[in-house]
C-alpha cells in the first residue's frame, strides 16, 4: 500500500504561505514532485484550501485497508445474490415450460410421430400424399392426432375425416401443413383474438398451396363410399343367379357368370369353411360346368362329392352370405 509520498504535483506552482513563526514562507513546487501526507501536511493543507492550487494536486495514496475489505465483501455478496437469482429464474422457467408441455394436448412428441408417419408415405418430400393414404397415416399415428391402438380403427378414421376440414389439392392430394393443422385443431383448437389469428394466417399462408379448395377430404371419402356401394351392388346383381343355383340341389342349370376365377376361389372358400378340401383344378372345372356351356353328362361324375356338400346359402362363409 502506498501511504508515503503519494500526492503528485501535476504542474509547476509557486505560492506563499504562513510559516511556523508567523512569517510568510515562499514555496515552489515542480511538476512531477511528490508530497508526503505527514511531513508536508502544512503545504498540502494550504494547497487543498486554495481552489486554484487544489487542481495542481492528485491524490495517489492507497485508500484505507478496511474500506477495501468492506468493498470486497459487499461486491461478493451482491454478485452472489445476482447469480442465485439468475439460477433460480432459469430453473423456474424450465419447470414452467415443462408443465406447459405436459398440459398441452398436442406435444412435440406427437408432432414428431406425425412427421415420421408422413415420411413413410411421402419419401420424396413433396409435402403431398393421396387422399386415400389418410387412412394409413391416421392408423400409424398414435392419439391424439391419430388412432393407432384404438378399437374400430376404420370407424374412427371416418369420424375424424368427417369432423375436420382437410382441403383437397389437385382433386386427389392433401398437403402436409393443412393435414397437421386440421388434426391438431380438432383436439387442441381454441379461440384466439382476431389480430393474433390474422398474424398466424399471414405466416402460414406462405407455406400452403395458393387458392381456395373446392372440396375437402370428407367429400373424397364420401365419394369413395358411394362408389364402393355401387360396385358392391353391381357385383351382387351379377352374382345373384349364381348363388341361386348354388342354393338348389340341381347343379346342371346354366348360370351366367363372367368371373370364372373369382367363382372358383369363392367355391374353395365355401368348402374350406365346411371343413372339406377341394383342389383348385376341381373347383375350376366345377365352376366351368356351372357357369359356362358344358351341359353334357360327360364328366358329370368328376365332382360328385361337391353336390352333396353345398346345399344352401347358410353353407357360405359369413362374409359372403350378404352377396
pLDDT tens string 247-302: 654 444 334 444 566 666 776 776 666 666 777 777 777 666 655 444 333 433 43
| Residues 49, 50, 52: CA angle, nearest 5 degrees | 150
Same domain for 209 and 116, yes or no, is: yes
Whole-angstrom Cα distance, residue 110 to residue 188?
12
Q: How confident is the model at residue 22 (pLDDT cuts 50, 70, 90)?
A: low
- Comparing 283 with 86, the larger pLDDT belongs to 86
**Torsion angle of C-alpha atoms 298, 300, 301, 304, degrees rounded to 10:** 170
Same domain for 210 and 271, yes or no, is: no
Same domain for 206 and 243, yes or no, is: no
The domain tally of the chain equals 3
- Residue 84 parent element (H or E): helix 65-103
Looking at 180, 215, 250, the residue that finishes a domain is 215
Q: How confident is the model at residue 208 (pLDDT cuts 50, 70, 90)?
A: confident
In a domain, 102, yes or no: no
Same domain for 112 and 209, yes or no, is: yes
Is the model's pLDDT at 9 over the cut of 60? Answer: yes
Residue % of the chain over a pLDDT of 70: 72
Same domain for 196 and 256, yes or no, is: no
Looking at 59, 76, 97, the residue that finishes a domain is 59
Same domain for 211 and 242, yes or no, is: no
Under 8 Å between Cβ of 173 and 166 = no
Q: How confident is the model at residue 119 (pLDDT cuts 50, 70, 90)?
A: very high
Measure CA 86 to chain center.
31
In a domain, 82, yes or no: no
Q: Please tell me what DSSP assigns to residue 207.
A: T
Same domain for 245 and 205, yes or no, is: no
Looking at 59, 79, 100, the residue that finishes a domain is 59
**Torsion angle of C-alpha atoms 250, 252, 257, 261, degrees rounded to 10:** 100
Using CA atoms, how far residue 125 sits from 116, 143, 176, 211, in Å, is 12, 24, 10, 21
Q: What is the pLDDT of residue 84?
A: 95
Q: What is the pLDDT of residue 307?
A: 38
Is the model's pLDDT at 24 over the cut of 50? Answer: yes
Q: What is the pLDDT of residue 139?
A: 92
**Domain of residue 245, residue span:** 238-320
Is the model's pLDDT at 80 over the cut of 70? Answer: yes
In a domain, 68, yes or no: no
pTM score: 0.48
Is the model's pLDDT at 323 over the cut of 90? Answer: no
| Residues 162, 172, 186: CA angle, nearest 5 degrees | 30
Amino acid at each position: 500500500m502506498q501511504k508515503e509520498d503519494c500526492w503528485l504535483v501535476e504542474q509547476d506552482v509557486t505560492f506563499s504561505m504562513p510559516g511556523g513563526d508567523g512569517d510568510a514562507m515562499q514555496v515552489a513546487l515542480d511538476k512531477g514532485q511528490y508530497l508526503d501526507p505527514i511531513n508536508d501536511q502544512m503545504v498540502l493543507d494550504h494547497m487543498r484550501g486554495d481552489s486554484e492550487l487544489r487542481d495542481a494536486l492528485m491524490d495517489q495514496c492507497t485508500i484505507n485497508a478496511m474500506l477495501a475489505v468492506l468493498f470486497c465483501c459487499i461486491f461478493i455478496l451482491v454478485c452472489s445474490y445476482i447469480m442465485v437469482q439468475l439460477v433460480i429464474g432459469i430453473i423456474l422457467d424450465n419447470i414452467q415450460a415443462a408443465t406447459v408441455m405436459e398440459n398441452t394436448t398436442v406435444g412435440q412428441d406427437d408432432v414428431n410421430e406425425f412427421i415420421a408417419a408422413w415420411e413413410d408415405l411421402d419419401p420424396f418430400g413433396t409435402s403431398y400424399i393421396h387422399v386415400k393414404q389418410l387412412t394409413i397415416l391416421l392408423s400409424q399415428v398414435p392419439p391424439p392426432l391419430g388412432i393407432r391402438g384404438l378399437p374400430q380403427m376404420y370407424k374412427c378414421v371416418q369420424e375424424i375425416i368427417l369432423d375436420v376440414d382437410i382441403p383437397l389439392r389437385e382433386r386427389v392430394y392433401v398437403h402436409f401443413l393443412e393435414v397437421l393443422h386440421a388434426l391438431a385443431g380438432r383436439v387442441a383448437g381454441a379461440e384466439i383474438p382476431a389480430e393474433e389469428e390474422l398474424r398466424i394466417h399471414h405466416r402460414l399462408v406462405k407455406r400452403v398451396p395458393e387458392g381456395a379448395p373446392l372440396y375437402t377430404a370428407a367429400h373424397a371419402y364420401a365419394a369413395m363410399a358411394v362408389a364402393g356401394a355401387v360396385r358392391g351392388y353391381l357385383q351382387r346383381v351379377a352374382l345373384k343367379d349364381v348363388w341361386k343355383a348354388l342354393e338348389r340341389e340341381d347343379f346342371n342349370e346354366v348360370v351366367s357368370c363372367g368371373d370364372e376365377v373369382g367363382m372358383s376361389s369363392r367355391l374353395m372358400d365355401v368348402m374350406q369353411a365346411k371343413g372339406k378340401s377341394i383342389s383348385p383344378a376341381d373347383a375350376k372345372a366345377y365352376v366351368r360346368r356351372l357357369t359356362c356351356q358344358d351341359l353334357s353328362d360327360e364328366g358329370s361324375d368328376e365332382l360328385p362329392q361337391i353336390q352333396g356338400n353345398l346345399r344352401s346359402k347358410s353353407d357360405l362363409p359369413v362374409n359372403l352370405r350378404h352377396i
